[in-house]
Structures are given as C-alpha cells and as structure tokens.
Amino acid sequence: MALEFAVGEVAIEQNLKQFLLVLSVSLTVATLPQVFSWFRHIPYTLLLVIAGLGLALVDVRLVNLSPELILAIFLPPLLFEAAWNLKWSKLKQDFIPICLYAVIGVLISIAGVALGLNFLAGIPLTTALLVGASLSATDPVSVTALFRELGVDKRLTTLMEGESLFNDGMAVVAFSFLVALPLGKAQLGIQPVIVQLFTVVGVGLAVGGLIGFGISYLTQRFDLPLVEQSLTLVSAYGTYIIAEDLGGSGVIAVVTIGLILGNFGSRIGMNPRTRIIVSEFWEFLAFFVNSIVFLLIGDQVRFVDLAENLTIIAVAIAGMVLARAIAVYGLGFLSNRLANSNIPLPVQTILWWGGLRGSVSIALSLSVPSILSEREDLINTVFGVVLFTLLVQGLTTKPLLEKLQLLGEQPLRQQYLEFIARQTALKRVLEYLGKVEERPGLEPEFYRYQETLIKGELQRLEEQIDKLHNEYPNLRDFTAEQLRMELLSVEADTYAEFVRSGRLNQELAPLLEDVLEEGH
C-alpha cells in the first residue's frame, strides 16, 4: 500500500512538472509579439504551433495529447468563451447561411475528402470516411484566435465563428456513426441516422438551455461577482459532462449555454461591472488554454510518420480544399438567392481559405479505436492536414484579407478609439483636479502645473482626432454608430436594473433599436 502511494506521489509530481513546463514555454512564446515587433505579423496561436514543431523536431515531448484531454478539459472553456462573445443579434442576421455551412457543408466536406482518398490514394472507404469526418469541423479554437488577432469585419467574424461553433455537433454525430461502420455496430439507413442526429442535438440543446436559463434567473437574486464568475466556469464544464452522459452533444450544450448567458443571463442577472469581470476572466482563460493547445498540437507531430504518409496527406488536403470551395461558394450562392444573405465573393473567399482545422479534428482522430488496423495512418493524415491549415492557410489569411481589401479601416478605427479613450480619461482627470484645488497643503503652483500638462495633452489629442476626421471622413459614420451602441447599452442596463430590483418581471426589448436605426 505504501509503495503504491509513493508511486502515485511520484506520478503527480512528474505530471505537475510537465504541466509547468508546457505552461512556461507556451506563455513565453505567446508574449514574444510584445517584445519583438516582427512577431506581431504572425498570430500568437501560430507562433505556438511553430514552437511546438521546433520541440518535436528535436524530439522533446512535453506531454501525451489524448482526445479526452482536449475534449473534456480544453474544449468546453474555448467553446463557452467564443459563444459568450457572439452576439445573438448579429448571429440571427446570418442564421440561414451559418446553418447551411454547419450542416450541409459538413456532409460535402466528408464526401470530398473520402472520395479523393478512396479513388486517388486507394484508402478503404470506411477509413476515408473517418478521415473526412475528422476534418469536417472548422475548429472554433483556431478560427476564433486567428480572426480576433487580425481584427476583421464583425460580420465575417460572426460567419466564421457561428459556423465553427455549430458544425462541431454535426461533425461529432457523423464521426460517431462512421466509426461504428468498420466495427459492425452501425445501424444502416436514413431513419437511424436521423434519429441519432436529433437525439444528440436535442439533448445538447435541452441541457444547455435548461442550465443556461436556470443560472440566468439565479444570478438575479444576488450580486456577487466572484460567485457569478465561478458559476459560468462550473456551468461550462458541467453542461458538457451532463450532455455527454445523457447521450447528447456536449459541444452543442456548451455553445447553447454560452449564447444564453452571454446574450441573456449577463443582461438580466449581472450588473455592468460584473459583466466586465466575467468577460475579462473568460478572455484570460481562452488565452491560457489556447496557449497550451496550440503548443501541444505542434509538439505531437512525428515527422517520420508524416513523411511516410505524404502522398495520402496531399490527397486529403486537395480533397478538403476543393470540398470546402464547393460548400462555401455553392451554399453561399444558394443563401444569397433564397435568403438574400448578400455574402459577397471576397467574404466567401475568406470563408473558404480561412476554414482552419485544429484540436477537434485531432481529438476525433485520436479517439478511433486501436482495433482498426488503419488507425495510425488515419491519425498521421489528420495531423498533416491540420498542420497545413494552421501554417499555410493560417499564415496566408492576413495577406489574402489585405489583397481582397477586407481589413478595411479596422486598424484606423482602433487608433481612433484609443484617442477617444485617452481624451475621455484626461477630461475626467481634469474634472477631478478641479475638485481638489482647495485641498489643504496643495500648492497653487503645483495645481496649475498639473492643469497645464493635462490641458496641453488634451489639445494634442484633439488635434490628432480632428486630423483623422479630415483625412478619413468615414470615421464620422463610425463615431455615430459607436454612440448608437452606447445609447442601446445604457437602455439595456436600465431595464436590467429594474428587473434585478423586482420592479419588472422580465427585461424589456430595446425601444430605441428601431428608432435609432431609422434615424441612422
């Protein structure tokens, strides 16, 4: 007994050392862009993959990457954070194209990869279908991190994140059915597949909805930021586990509860200060988990195995890219015609090329039962394709955005908002300085000196803001839009305050939304 306890202690200590090593390396790499300006041209997630590849090249393995580790520990917080920040008002505007990409797009992706591997590489159809299913989900971890780094247009971000969040459930259902085929456990036929799909999706939606609305109304009863922050963390993991145990999709459950708490619960149950605390907590957690996941993806690569499967990987990449093009352009055309989605070709091009694969694809491939003889080839193929999407597509997405002129005025707007924030802050400082002018012990000369410094800085900022207005007239429209959003936020916060105090039973719909839209 004592020997077993000692062995357990050694194992815990070893795992802790490995975790600290992974954390130290990942955080060091993630901070490189802040130290060396050249690295700012590469999203930090891709820097982590490159660093992991460097470690793999010298055969330094930080930790064994298991599907359970990715799916149960890393995936819930990443999905929750992305859903928390996804605005329902924006999502519902493109709900039809997102659903088309997330459902039909997955089927097209599976078919494209599987047919290519079967006909061109001679891979058995059952194995080819599993590779296609593993690669059918555009990974929200990769996409969210990349596009936030690039600061692309909000609609493009919504389309990418919405598809990524919703198509995981479809991909997991398809993979679960296809992995049972070579084992002889699958029920062939349209009806069993449809029943399984509705069961998995339905249970996920039900669990996420019940827990999400329950926590939303619970947080109305108290105002404890740390407790509410902890509740969101527990709900992300708890929802995933409960949905999986009930035979549903944990991915869909987490996305559902994230959307509910981010768009509804945080409005009626949290005051503005608490919402900021919770949002910052999830921003940190997403950065923390992303740093570990992307480093480990690169670190798990075995170059010898990839070289042996290079032909198969090349065929899989070609099939994936072609199938993605058919899905994005074909379904985009269909959505534009039927739903007037008005998704322009440049946006569709980014949706096609920016459909990265990542941790979900790797987790699915690793979960293939070891009884299948083609398991290792399948895993190596998926790893090779994931690396291609992260390194080749990921590193060329920013130049493509610039080529298609889709970055727009995002950097300019960010600079403008920084000027406005500094101006507002300094005006408040000047106002506060006026209140303490008569404070005992304060020399008039010191007060006048501080006042002169602040006014001089304010004048400089005003000149910079006027210069931007004159050089870029479109900023005035952006300023008007910012004010409109601020007015809507003030109105929503007021309704939430009335609900929390018990003076209203439910939060009212924004009255100013239509009025301001007409004025705009």
Segment 147-155 mean pLDDT = 68
- Span 155-194, pLDDT tens digits: 888 888 888 888 877 887 788 778 877 666 656 566 777 7
pLDDT at residue 455 tops 90:
no
Helix, strand or coil, per DSSP, at residue 27: helix
Q: How confident is the model over 401-406, as a mean pLDDT?
A: 81
How far apart are the C-alpha atoms of 6 and 386, rounded to whole Å? 40
How confident is the model at residue 480, as a pLDDT? 76
Least confident of 255-264, 345-354, 389-398, 406-415: 406-415
| Per-residue model confidence (pLDDT) at position 21 | 74
Task: Determine the 3-state secondary structure of 296 from DSSP.
Answer: helix
Per DSSP, the three-state class of 26 is helix
- For residue 509, what pLDDT is reported? 60
Give pLDDT tens digits for 227-259. Answer: 888 999 999 999 999 998 998 888 889 999 999
Q: What is the mean pLDDT of residues 130-158?
A: 75
In this prediction, residue 497 has a pLDDT band, given cuts at 50, 70 and 90, of: confident
pLDDT average, residue stretch 413-440: 78
The alpha helices in 302-403, defined as continuous H runs, are 303-308, 310-339, 345-353, 359-366, 375-387, 394-403
Predicted pLDDT of residue 154? 76
Q: In the prediction, which pLDDT does 226 show? A: 86
What is the pLDDT at residue 210? 95
H helices of 180-249, where? 190-218, 225-245
Is residue 133's pLDDT more than 80?
A: yes
Each domain of the chain, given as residue ranges in start order, spans: 1-407, 411-518
Using pLDDT thresholds of 50, 70 and 90, give the confidence band for residue 303.
confident
| Beta carbons within 8 Å of 99's beta carbon, 6+ residues apart | 166
Task: Name the residue with higher pLDDT: 167 or 141.
Answer: 167
Report d(CA 177, CA 133) in Å as an integer. 10
148 in Cβ contact with 174 (< 8 Å): no
When comparing pLDDT for 388 and 223, which is higher? 388
CB 350 within 8 A of CB 397: yes
Interval 404-419 mean pLDDT:
73
Least Cα distance to 377 among 476, 293, 307, 300 occurs for 307
CATH architecture group of domain 1-407? Up-down Bundle (1.20)
Q: Which of 46-55, 178-187, 291-300, 418-427 has the lowest mean pLDDT?
A: 178-187
Lowest-confidence pick of 140-144, 291-295, 364-368: 140-144
15 vs 289, more confident = 289
Q: Is the pLDDT of residue 152 over 80?
A: no
pLDDT-derived band at 53 (thresholds 50, 70, 90) equals: confident
The answer to whether 324 and 356 are in contact (CB under 8 A) is no
How long, in residues, is the chain? Answer: 520
Mean pLDDT of 490-510: 71
Q: Which two tokens stand for residue 87?
A: 């605005």
If one counts every other C-beta atom within 10 angstroms of the C-beta of residue 32, the result is 16
Distance CA 520, CA 511 (A): 15
Token look-up 């070289």 returns 307
Share of the chain above pLDDT 70, in %: 82
Question: What pLDDT is attached to residue 428?
Answer: 85
Q: Rounded mean pLDDT of 124-139?
A: 88
28 compared with 459, residue with greater pLDDT: 459
Q: Which long-range contacts (CB under 8 A, 24 or more apart) does 302-311 make?
A: 302/56, 302/380, 303/56, 303/57, 305/376, 305/380, 306/380, 306/383, 306/384, 306/387, 308/380, 309/377, 309/380, 309/381, 309/384, 310/384, 311/121
Q: What residues contact residue 67 under an 8 Å CB cut-off, 6+ apart?
A: 362, 363, 364, 366, 367
Predicted local distance difference test score (pLDDT) of residue 324: 95
Instruction: Give the C-alpha separation, 82 to 272, whole Å.
Output: 19
Give the pLDDT band (50/70/90) at residue 293.
Answer: confident
In eight-state DSSP terms, residue 413 is H
Lowest mean pLDDT among 82-91, 125-134, 497-506: 497-506
Distances (CA, A) of 310 to 1, 303, 377, 380, 388: 49, 10, 10, 9, 12
Does residue 425 register a pLDDT over 70?
yes
**Alpha-carbon span 294 to 120, nearest angstrom:** 31
- pLDDT tops 90 at residue 334: yes
270 phi and psi angles, rounded to 5 deg: -130, 140
Token pair, residue 317, equals 């990449």
Q: With cut-offs at 50, 70 and 90, classify the pLDDT of residue 44.
A: confident
Q: What is the pLDDT of residue 38?
A: 67
What is the rounded distance in angstroms from the CA atom of residue 263 to the CA atom of residue 84? 7
Banded model confidence at residue 352, pLDDT cuts 50, 70, 90: very high
Q: Flag the least confident range among 68-82, 254-268, 281-295, 464-478.
A: 464-478
- CA distances (Å), origin 299, targets 64, 146, 196, 485: 9, 19, 36, 43
- Predicted local confidence at residue 146, as pLDDT: 59
* pLDDT at res. 348: 93
* pLDDT reading at 514 higher than 60: no
What mean pLDDT is predicted for residues 260-278? Answer: 84
pLDDT band at 208 (very low <50, low <70, confident <90, very high): very high
Better-scored residue on pLDDT, 315 or 416: 315
Distance CA 63, CA 50 (A): 17
Q: For 403-418, what is the mean pLDDT?
A: 73
